Amino acid sequence: MASFSSQTKLEACRVAVRSDCCRRAELYAMMRFCGVIGINRQGVSLTLSTSIEPVAQRILSLVRRVFDAECDIRRVEREQLNRIERIEIALVGEQAREALLACGMLQETDDGGSFFEDGIGYRPMNDCCMDAYLRGVFFACGTMLPPSKGYHLEFVLESAQLASDLCDLLYSMDINAHMTVRKEKNIVYVKESECVLQYLARIGAHNAYLQMEDERMIREIKNDVNRSVNCSTANINKTTNAALKQIRAIEFLEREGVLREQSLSIRQMAEMRLEYPEASLDELAQMMNITKSGVNHRLRKLVHLAALLQGSEE
Catalog residues that contact Zn ion under the rule CB under 5 A.
Answer: 21-22, 126, 128-129
Of 104 and 150, the one with the shorter C-beta distance to Zn ion is 104
Task: Return the half-sphere exposure (C-beta side, CA atoms, 13 A cut-off) of residue 24.
Answer: 17
CB of 139 to Zn ion, least distance (A): 17
Of 18 and 64, the one with the shorter C-beta distance to Zn ion is 18
CB of 64 to Zn ion, least distance (A): 18
Task: Return the half-sphere exposure (C-beta side, CA atoms, 13 A cut-off) of residue 235.
Answer: 13
CA–CA gap between residue 117 and residue 49 (Å, rounded): 20
CB of 192 to Zn ion, least distance (A): 26
Write phi, then psi, for 188 (nearest 5 degrees): -110, 130
Within a 10 A sphere around the Cβ of 165, how many other Cβ atoms?
A: 20
Of 27 and 96, the one with the shorter C-beta distance to Zn ion is 27
Residues 6+ apart with CB under 8 A from 118: 159, 161, 162
CB of 17 to Zn ion, least distance (A): 8
CB of 122 to Zn ion, least distance (A): 13
CB of 145 to Zn ion, least distance (A): 30
Of 22 and 306, the one with the shorter C-beta distance to Zn ion is 22
- Alpha helix positions (H), 127-203: 127-141, 160-172, 193-202
CA–CA gap between residue 115 and residue 108 (Å, rounded): 7
Of 23 and 216, the one with the shorter C-beta distance to Zn ion is 23
Of 135 and 216, the one with the shorter C-beta distance to Zn ion is 135
Amino acid identity of residue 114, one-letter, is S
Nearest to 57 by CA among 45, 73, 38: 73
